[in-house]
């Protein structure tokens, strides 16, 4: 059977009950993500299997088995419960990618509280907006981020507990602050798991979108059904794989596919928290014999910019499957990965609101460089006419990417913002806010955000397509395209580029043979 025929067979015979059966979940039973990702794996006889391989700044290395993460989750859960944290209280995780971040995720869910992961690079005002909106009751953080919280805590009356996982005894705790050390806490072998149900809230992710205040995207414990199966089928994780998802859990990829997906499958995963450099990343893959790598186009383009020679300094032969997420994957990156790793990066499309992969290039399926792939089985997708929200049937016609509601990990609402939530649905479809075309084989081709298309002289131009064209030039390492107001054409396309090592701005401009405005070493635009 061909790969295309296999895909069609999967579509015809698909039902989400496949995941329910494999996870041994029945409708109406207790469904708790924290338990499913740790306790259940131990009950399957995998307690001694490595769950987490961690490498941090200064060469810090740690390893945790599934039994270790089960007990650590229990310790954190008991600590929170003893403070009075109860089901559906919001607990913010505001940490770098240290083990406590991942273990606190499990512990918080085990007691029925809602996890609110936030990117640790947020400044105090960004942090304040999200904590105030969620009426967060506790935040778990590190000493290095404490100053941000102290600046805003008096404006957050609902924030009762500021828990510091690495507080040193020679410093003084201030109002509402509590020191907590996982290493110094006694183990908790058994913890009463809060009996969350399928529709009990689990994770509250904040997404800014392109306009307006950040919105809290509410997910439920039933999301594990989608995340488990998409991890297994799209990322192709198997029992003996070593997996690396480079995403931070402050964003949805880092939780859906950096915690829930791999650990619900009982897979060993690696975490690198020591900054970005091509050498460090390749060394990390080599040292840990990573087999599955899920990264982002920005990182991939940065690796491309570092050059080809550095790749050859490392043994990366253990890699067997590569995938990408977070933004459109340019065709140049796919072609480059085939040249350097012998296999393509498989693009995946989804959002904070969808909770799981929606459009994807399946392992073994024909990859069309520049395409996002086809819809995941069980997902009904289309592109809609933006005027009447009816599906477009002509191949190649550009429309709004939309999905039929009902998949397990679909958001259940925006926190305290029902109006914005309702705006995401039209004519029985969930609107992604992105534009795409679909070719005659069902492959989706990303155009841009619905509000990001440039109208120049009546012609609609996709910034992504212009950026992709620029990246085809051998001197261009990165590109960004924006609209510039223009009296005659309403808008004109303006591009910013950075060059690969060894190229000067002048040589890059001359080599294109195209008209360049303001191209100099100080102003590399065109």
What pLDDT is recorded for position 503? 83
d(CA 466, CA 484): 14
> The CATH number of the domain where 492 resides is what?
3.30.300.30
Q: Bridge partners of 213?
A: none
In tens, the pLDDT along 161-209 reads 999 999 987 789 999 999 999 999 999 999 999 999 999 999 999 987 5
In tens, the pLDDT along 37-80 reads 999 999 999 999 999 999 999 889 999 999 999 999 999 999 99
In this structure, are 492 and 363 located in the same domain?
A: no
Per the structure, the count of domains in the chain is: 2
Report yes or no on 494 lying in a domain.
Answer: yes
What pLDDT is recorded for position 461? 64
Of 438, 465, 493, which marks where a domain is finished? 438
Answer positive or negative: Cα dihedral of 326, 327, 333, 334. positive
In this structure, are 370 and 482 located in the same domain?
A: no
d(CA 324, CA 288): 20
Task: Provide the edge-to-edge strand list for the sheet that holds 138-141.
Answer: 177-179, 161-164, 138-141, 90-94, 114-117, 201-207, 215-220, 413-414
Report yes or no on 487 lying in a domain.
Answer: yes
Tokens of 12: 């015809």
Report yes or no on 521 lying in a domain.
Answer: no
In this structure, are 382 and 288 located in the same domain?
A: yes
Report yes or no on 407 lying in a domain.
Answer: yes
Q: DSSP characters for 291-313?
A: -EEEE-HHHHHHHHHT-SGGGGG
Which stretches of the chain drop beneath a pLDDT of 50?
1, 457-459, 506, 508-526
Which residue spans within 107-167 are E strands per DSSP? 114-117, 138-141, 161-164
In this structure, are 156 and 302 located in the same domain?
A: yes
Q: Is 477 in a helix, a strand, or coil? A: strand
Residue 472 domain boundaries? 453-512
In this structure, are 235 and 336 located in the same domain?
A: yes
In this structure, are 434 and 459 located in the same domain?
A: no
In this structure, are 365 and 232 located in the same domain?
A: yes
Of 438, 471, 497, which marks where a domain is finished? 438
In this structure, are 339 and 462 located in the same domain?
A: no
Report yes or no on 44 lying in a domain.
Answer: yes
Q: DSSP characters for 44-96?
A: IIITTSEEEEEEEGGG-EEEEEHHHHHHHHHHHHHHHHHHT--TT-EEEEE--
In this structure, are 416 and 476 located in the same domain?
A: no
In this structure, are 417 and 368 located in the same domain?
A: yes
> The CATH number of the domain where 239 resides is what?
3.40.50.12780
Cβ–Cβ < 8 Å for 115, 93? yes
Of 438, 472, 496, which marks where a domain is finished? 438
In tens, the pLDDT along 205-224 reads 998 755 568 899 999 999 99
Report yes or no on 520 lying in a domain.
Answer: no
Please give the DSSP secondary-structure letter assigned to residue 200: S
d(CA 383, CA 348): 17
In this structure, are 328 and 459 located in the same domain?
A: no
In this structure, are 465 and 345 located in the same domain?
A: no
d(CA 86, CA 339): 52
Report yes or no on 15 lying in a domain.
Answer: yes
Answer positive or negative: Cα dihedral of 2, 5, 11, 16. negative
Report yes or no on 444 lying in a domain.
Answer: no
What pLDDT is recorded for position 199? 98
pTM of this prediction?
Answer: 0.87
């Amino acid at each position: 059977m061909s790969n295309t025929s296999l895909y069609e067979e999967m579509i015809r015979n698909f039902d989400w009950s496949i995941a329910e059966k494999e996870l041994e979940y029945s409708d109406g039973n207790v469904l708790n993500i924290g338990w499913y990702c740790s306790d259940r794996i131990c009950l399957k006889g995998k307690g001694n299997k490595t769950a987490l391989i961690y490498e941090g700044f200064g060469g810090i290395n740690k390893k945790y088995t599934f039994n270790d993460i089960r007990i650590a989750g229990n310790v954190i859960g008991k600590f929170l419960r003893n403070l009075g944290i109860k089901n559906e209280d919001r607990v913010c995780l505001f940490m770098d990618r240290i083990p406590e971040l991942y273990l606190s995720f499990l512990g918080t869910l085990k007691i029925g509280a809602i996890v609110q992961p936030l990117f640790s690079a947020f400044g105090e005002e960004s942090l304040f907006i999200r904590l105030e909106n969620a009426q967060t009751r506790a935040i778990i953080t590190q000493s290095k981020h404490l100053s941000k919280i102290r600046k805003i805590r008096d404006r957050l009356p609902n924030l009762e507990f500021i828990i510091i996982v690495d507080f040193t005894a020679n410093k003084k705790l201030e109002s509402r602050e509590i020191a907590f050390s996982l290493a110094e806490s006694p183990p908790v072998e058994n913890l009463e798991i809060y009996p969350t149900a399928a529709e009990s809230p689990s994770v509250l992710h904040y997404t800014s979108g392109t306009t307006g205040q950040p919105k809290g995207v509410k997910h439920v414990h039933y999301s594990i059904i989608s995340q488990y199966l998409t991890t297994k089928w799209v990322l192709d994780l198997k029992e003996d794989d070593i997996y690396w998802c480079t995403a931070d859990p402050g964003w949805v990829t880092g939780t859906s596919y950096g915690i829930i997906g791999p650990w619900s499958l009982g897979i060993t995963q690696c975490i690198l928290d020591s900054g970005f450099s091509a050498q460090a990343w390749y060394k990390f893959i080599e040292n840990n014999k990573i087999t599955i790598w899920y990264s982002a186009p920005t990182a991939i383009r940065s690796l491309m910019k570092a050059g080809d020679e550095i790749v050859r300094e490392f043994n990366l032969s253990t890699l067997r499957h590569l995938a990408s997420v977070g933004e459109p994957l340019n065709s140049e990156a796919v072609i480059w990965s085939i040249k350097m790793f012998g296999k393509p990066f498989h693009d995946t499309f989804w959002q904070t609101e969808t909770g799981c992969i929606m459009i994807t290039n399946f392992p073994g399926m024909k990859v069309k460089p520049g395409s996002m792939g086809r819809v995941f089985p069980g997902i009904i997708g289309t592109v809609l006419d933006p005027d009447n929200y009816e599906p477009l049937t002509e191949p190649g016609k550009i429309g709004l990417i939309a999905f039929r509601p009902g998949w397990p990990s679909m958001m259940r609402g925006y926190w305290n913002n029902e109006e914005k939530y309702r705006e995401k649905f039209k004519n029985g479809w969930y609107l992604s806010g992105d534009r795409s075309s679909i070719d005659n084989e069902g492959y989706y081709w990303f155009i841009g955000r619905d509000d990001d298309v440039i109208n120049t002289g009546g012609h609609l131009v996709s910034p992504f397509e212009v950026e992709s064209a620029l990246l085809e030039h051998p001197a261009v390492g990165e590109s960004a395209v924006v609209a510039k107001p223009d009296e005659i054409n309403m808008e004109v396309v303006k591009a910013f580029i950075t060059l690969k090592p060894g190229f000067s701005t002048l040589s890059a401009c001359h080599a294109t043979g195209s008209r360049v405005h303001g191209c100099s070493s100080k102003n590399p635009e065109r």
